C-alpha cells in the first residue's frame, strides 16, 4: 500500500489519493460553518475530502460551541461511536437528555436516535466514528426534545437533502475563530501551523455537517 500524498488546501492538509498517511490535527484540513446567516453546526476535521473518502469508517473531530448542534436528530442503520475529548455537551438520545463531559463515551448501535448539542462555556470537542457500507439509510424523526435545541425536522423524512436544505450554513474550508481555545491548538510560535483560515466556499456538495453522501 503506497503512502498518500497530502496537499495543502489553504486550510490544512488533506489526502489527494488512496493510501496510508499521518497528519497532525493542528495541520489537517478543517471546515467551519460559523459566521453565516443560517444555523451553524460547528467545525470539523474529517481527515478526508469529497474526492478521497474512507471506505469502511468515517472518522472526524467535531467542535461545537454552546448551543450548536452537529446536525439534526436522526437514526441510521450503521453503528456510530463517540468520545468527548474536551468541554461539555448534551446528548439527545432516544428522547432523553444526558449531559456529557470530557472522556464520556457514547455507543450508538444501528437505529439509535441521537444528536449532540454544545453546552457549558467552552467549545466541546468530540471524536466521532461511524461505520460505512452499501445501502446506508437514515431517518430524521420529529422530536419535541430536539426541537427545543433547534435540532429537529418539522416533518419526518429519510431524505438528508430535504432535511437540511436552507436550514444550516454550508461548511467552508477554514479554521474556527476560537482555534486557540482548542486542546490541540499549537501554542509554541516556533512550531505554529502554517495553514491559515480560508473562507472559500466548498459549494453545494457540502451540506453541513455532511459531505456528498450526507454523513452524520
153-183, pLDDT tens digit by residue? Answer: 999 999 999 999 888 999 899 999 999 999 8
182: exposed, middle or buried (Cβ count in 10 Å: 0-12, 13-18, 19+): buried
Class for domain 6-191, per CATH? mainly beta
List, for residues 94-142, the tens digit of each pLDDT value: 999 999 999 999 999 999 999 999 999 999 999 999 999 888 899 999 9
Q: Where does the pLDDT of residue 201 fall: very low under 50, low under 70, confident under 90, or very high at 90 and above?
A: very low
Q: Specify whether the CB–CB gap between 102 and 92 falls below 8 A.
A: no
Confidence (pTM) = 0.84
Looking at per-residue pLDDT, the higher value among 198 and 19 belongs to 19
How many Å apart are CA 197 and CA 128, to the nearest integer? 23
Contact between 165 and 206 under an 8 Å Cβ cutoff? The reply is no
Residue 158: partners with Cβ closer than 8 Å, 6 or more residues away: 137, 138, 139, 140
Amino acid at each position: 500500500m503506497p503512502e498518500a500524498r497530502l496537499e495543502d488546501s489553504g486550510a490544512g492538509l488533506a489526502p489527494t489519493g488512496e493510501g496510508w498517511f499521518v497528519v497532525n490535527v493542528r495541520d489537517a484540513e478543517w471546515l467551519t460553518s460559523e459566521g453565516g446567516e443560517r444555523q451553524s453546526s460547528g467545525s470539523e476535521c474529517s481527515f478526508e475530502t469529497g474526492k478521497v473518502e474512507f471506505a469502511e469508517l468515517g472518522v472526524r473531530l467535531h467542535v461545537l460551541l454552546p448551543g450548536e448542534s452537529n446536525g439534526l436528530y436522526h437514526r441510521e442503520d450503521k453503528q456510530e461511536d463517540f468520545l468527548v475529548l474536551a468541554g461539555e455537551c448534551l446528548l439527545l438520545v432516544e428522547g432523553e437528555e444526558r449531559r456529557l463531559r470530557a472522556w464520556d463515551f457514547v455507543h450508538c448501535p444501528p437505529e439509535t436516535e441521537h444528536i449532540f448539542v454544545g453546552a457549558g462555556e467552552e467549545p466541546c470537542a468530540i471524536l466521532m466514528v461511524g461505520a460505512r457500507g452499501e445501502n446506508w439509510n437514515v431517518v430524521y424523526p420529529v422530536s419535541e426534545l430536539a426541537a427545543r435545541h433547534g435540532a429537529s425536522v418539522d416533518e419526518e423524512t429519510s431524505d438528508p437533502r430535504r432535511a437540511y436544505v436552507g436550514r444550516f450554513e454550508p461548511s467552508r474550508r477554514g479554521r474556527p475563530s476560537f482555534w486557540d481555545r482548542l486542546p490541540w491548538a499549537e501554542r509554541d510560535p516556533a512550531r505554529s501551523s502554517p495553514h491559515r483560515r480560508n473562507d472559500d466556499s466548498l459549494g453545494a456538495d457540502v451540506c453541513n455537517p455532511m459531505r456528498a453522501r450526507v454523513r452524520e
